[in-house]
Amino acid sequence: MVNAHPTAVISKRASLGTDVTVGPFCVIEDGAVIGNRCNLASRAVIKTDTFLGDDNEIGEGAVLGGRPQHLRATGPVGQLRIGSRNIIRENVTIHRGLSPDLATTVGNENLIMVNSHVAHDCQLGDNVIMANNVMLAGHVHVDSRAYLSGAVGIHQFCRVGRLAMVGGQAHITQDVPPFVTVDGRSSLIVGLNFIGLRRSGLTSDDIQQLKEAYRVIYRSGFTWVETLAALQATFSSGPATEFHGFLASTRRGVIQERRIPRRATVTLPPPVQLDESGKREDAPRVYRAG
């Protein structure tokens, strides 16, 4: 059974599962597929070749499956495939793949907040959180349990690794390795994402291993080839093994660590020495005539 508001426009060539709720002024186009128990708030638009799994919450004004914003998107384009139990809030836009054989994909249990944009051919894992106004350009990959703070912008073809945390308003132009934190002001890495690591259930031994791998990558002074070799030789099991695979497959390079400049030192003058009369011994003597 579908609970649809009378003002909703639902194509007869769309497929809707059971217990779907469609709010006022929604539009569901030809070829859209919506799974069981999905809830579409008012003015949500589900475009052609968009596939939703079960139990998704779609906010007011969201547009899912729009054509790619690309000069090549003049003919047939690809699909948008969204998993289950996602929360997609107001005015979110997610576009289909650029070519008919490609798809933008969103996994399960993600939270995509107000006004965020996911461009063509992006790939989102599971349990990703995107805060308000996040912008993903085309072909961006965001791995599971990554956290993107408000107004983050990510350049096309960049990747964000698992359990990484990107601070607000960061400009990401290279890959973000897994498990790290990116400072929003500098857009550079400032260490591991310790809060996210603990919340994910990693043990103290796992986190200690990640600390050691982090030092190999950012503190050892190795060349790129030496870094990859050291990671592969040192970490054969545990979460740190993910670093080698991620770094070895980068196409845009990885973000560097923010280095705090050494503190400036100020040479203080020697203590003031006073003579028996209480005057500074180094004070100029004044001679008076007469």
**pLDDT tens, residue by residue, 117-170:** 999 999 999 999 999 999 999 999 999 999 999 999 999 999 999 999 999 999
Question: Cβ of 44: how many Cβ atoms within 10 Å?
Answer: 27
Q: Is 253 a catalytic residue?
A: no
Locate tokens 């545990």: which residue? 238
pLDDT along the chain (290 residues), means of 10: 96 98 98 98 98 98 98 95 98 98 98 98 98 98 98 98 98 98 97 97 97 96 96 97 97 91 58 65 55
CB 269 within 8 A of CB 200: no
Q: Each residue of 182-204: b (16+ CB within 10 Å) or e? A: bbbeebebbebbeebbeebebee
The pair of three-digit structure tokens given for residue 174, joined into one six-digit string: 């290279």
Locate tokens 């709010």: which residue? 23
CB 31 within 8 A of CB 49: yes
Find the catalytic residue in 121, 125, 139, 244. Answer: 121
At 243 the three-state DSSP class reads helix
Phi, psi values for residue 31, rounded to 5°: 80, -5
Helix axes 224-234, 241-248, angle to 10 degrees: 150
Find the catalytic residue in 120, 139, 141, 244. Answer: 120
**pLDDT at residue 280 in the model:** 63
**pLDDT at residue 1 in the model:** 82
CA separation for the pair 248, 253 (Å, rounded): 10
**pLDDT at residue 141 in the model:** 98
What's the CATH fold of domain 2-139? Answer: UDP N-Acetylglucosamine Acyltransferase; domain 1 (2.160.10)
Beta bridge partners of 15: 33
**pLDDT at residue 265 in the model:** 57
**pLDDT at residue 204 in the model:** 96
Strands of the sheet containing 33-34, edge to edge, are: 15-16, 33-34, 50-52, 79-82, 103-106, 123-124, 141-142, 159-160
CB 149 within 8 A of CB 125: no
The pTM score is 0.88
Beta bridge partners of 124: 106, 142
Measured between alpha carbons, how far is residue 129 from residues 114, 176, 179, 223 in Å? 12, 15, 15, 34
At 211 the three-state DSSP class reads helix
Q: Which helix (H) or strand (E) holds 39?
A: strand 39-40
Q: Is 5 a catalytic residue?
A: no
CA separation for the pair 158, 141 (Å, rounded): 7
Amino acid, res. 158: C
Measured between alpha carbons, how far is residue 110 from residues 17, 35, 68, 71 in Å? 21, 16, 22, 29
CA separation for the pair 20, 54 (Å, rounded): 9
Q: Is 205 a catalytic residue?
A: no
CB 103 within 8 A of CB 81: yes
Locate tokens 């968009």: which residue? 50
CB 144 within 8 A of CB 107: yes
Helices (H), 152-237: 194-199, 204-218, 224-234
